[in-house]
Structure 1
Amino acid sequence: METTLATFENDVINASMLAPVLVDFWAPWCGPCKTLGPMLEKLEAEAAGKWKLVKVNVDENQELAGHFQVRSIPHVIAFAEGRPVDQFIGVLPEGQLREFLDRLVPAGADAERLSAQAAWAAGNREFAIDTIKAAIALDPGYDDARLDLIEWLIAERRYDEAKEEDKLLSPKTTQGIDARYNALKTELDAADRER
């Protein structure tokens, strides 16, 4: 996907809130760009949505290239959660490219949690709950994911399930210092009193 100054915020900044985005600054006359571009496209296809590739033609988007201080191409900048987090200049061998991407893309339970949070934000609540349960199955001690689940179960008025999940939290979360846990516990207790 090509982006411009007008579409950059949506294509890169907003999109990187859901999954990492690699921005490939390139130009049609650049020889190394013709090597790197197809490699990135192949890896993006293999990743099946775990990250997204966005291309910026520096000849047509000099303001964007200037903003990101692109002086040599190809220049790739990785964005996550709305901000640049890593970059490289030139063509990396495929093995090094894969290592770069492995550092960028969350694996296992973290990936499931991000997917669940995106689904919840999009209003797909049942899918989000199923997905966060998958994250917890991968890492039963993942309290942040379990807190997401408790919060969502409360939002869905599934209090008994939320109380069962509460019992599975680790002591480090439940012993009074986790503000998010304390707020959720207060909600659960209030729901109990109302019933």
Structure 2
Amino acid sequence: MRRAVSQFFFWTILCGVLYPFLIYGIGKIAFREQSQGSLIVRNGKVTGSVLLAQKSDSPEFFHPRPSAAGFNPESGAASNLGTTSETLRKQVEERRKYWSERGGVGEVPSELVFASASGLDPHLSLKAVEYQLPLVAKARGLNEEQIRHLKDLVAQVSEPPQWGIFGEEKVNVLKLNLALQDSAQLAQRSDGKNH
């Protein structure tokens, strides 16, 4: 009996106290930014996390993938609607209609009409960003030179495939929108005041 109690306390302290503190400490030292949630802090305030999609309704900014969870990180999840679901079909048609009414040309990229599995995917493919680029440029009233600058901005924030081999080149929508917001060359509308 005494041996069993000793074993219980030994393993509880080792696995329940020491091991978690060791892993926590390693995370804080080796992965400082990630262990804090990869937060973006601007002017002393948390703007968001590079790991989570942020809702964007303004036509002057890029939109992330739709979210079945309403972009709520506490309830992030897929809709679990299957390919035969009438609800899913209606959602997809409404989303296609939205992009068409905004002036989108060609086939709407699937990631702009289907929510991600988590409902919080922060990235878009270059194809989905390039689809939105003329729409954002139009909403901002950008001239040709500013549109070239916007394309350069997209290239600057794009990320390569993971470890250079997994997936494809992608863009973090929050980082892109923050870079767009900060860009002095794109901050003003193209009304002859820009140099």
What TM-score bracket applies, with the shorter chain setting the length?
Answer: under 0.3
Structure having the higher Rg: 2
Q: Which structure is higher in RCO with an 8 Å CA cutoff and minimum separation 6?
A: 2
Higher strand residue share: 1
TM-score, normalization by structure 1 = 0.23
TM-score, normalization by structure 2 = 0.23
